[in-house]
Amino acid sequence: MGKWKKVFLTGALAILVVVEIFYMYRDWKEARDFVAQDFNTFLEVPRSDREIANYTKFMERTYREDTYGGATPEETLKLFTDALKAGDTDLAAKYFVVEKQIERREIFENWERNNKLGSVINLLEDVDKADYISSNNAQISFLNQSGIVGIIVSFVKNPQTNKWKIESL
């Protein structure tokens, strides 16, 4: 193969790589911006197939990279309450499923501002064991002083990392 042919093919390959990187960056940026929107808005507003595909890819990667949580629901709850005790609302929010982390961080910051973290921590510290609904879902119920269920914490297992995440509190 001649010298000019090699130069041409190398240049063409470089251009293709640059174009592919541009499209990958654009898709990543679009997915990132899309996730930054309120998750509930996503459920209500029709989206294009491309936006949904980008969102799905982004969420799969996010769940794959999410290492926060414990090997059991009880361990996740302990990690969560330890973060609240330390006043680390950002870390505490990371024990929730990805879609709820921003909302939860704001709630915990509000609890901290209103001096309610201590009472929440006290409620969540008396854990016996989780009730497993399935191999990927569990819940822990907390009784109030009257012996009635006061709080239920629901957990779901992240299928990408096998870490238990808090789904609702």
Query: What DSSP state is assigned to residue 114?
Result: T
Q: Residue 125 has what pLDDT?
A: 74
What is the reported pLDDT for 22? 62
* Interval 102-119: pLDDT, tens: 888 888 888 888 888 777
Q: What's the rounded Cα separation, in Å, for the pair 157 and 161?
A: 8
Q: Which helix (H) or strand (E) holds 30?
A: helix 3-36
Domain closes at, from 23, 44, 65: 65
pLDDT category at 4 given cuts 50, 70, 90 is confident
Residue 168 pLDDT: 83
Are 17 and 84 members of one domain?
no
Instruction: Read off the pLDDT of residues 40-67 as tens digits, 9 standing for 90 and up.
Output: 455 555 567 777 777 777 778 888 888 8
Model pLDDT, residue 27: 61
Rounded Cα distance, 105 and 127, in Å:
23
pLDDT at 116: 80
**Which of 19, 39, 65 delimits the end of a domain?**
65
Residue 118's domain comprises: 73-168
Residues 80 and 124 grouped into a single domain:
yes
pLDDT of 129 > 60? The answer is yes
Q: Are 130 and 43 in contact (CB under 8 A)?
A: no
* Degrees to nearest 5, angle at CA 15 with 9 and 18: 140
CATH number at residue 120: 3.10.450.50
pLDDT computed for residue 49 by the predictor: 77
> 15 with 35, same domain?
yes
Q: Which residue has the higher pLDDT, 103 or 2?
A: 103
pLDDT at 29: 60
Q: What is the pTM of this model?
A: 0.64
Comparing CA positions, the residue from 47, 150, 164, 38 lying closest to residue 103 is 38
82 and 162 fall within a common domain: yes
From the CB of residue 58, how many other CB atoms can be counted at a distance below 10 Å? 18
Tens-place pLDDT, residues 11-40: 766 676 666 766 666 665 665 555 555 454
Number of domains in the chain: 2
45 plus 103 within the same structural domain: no
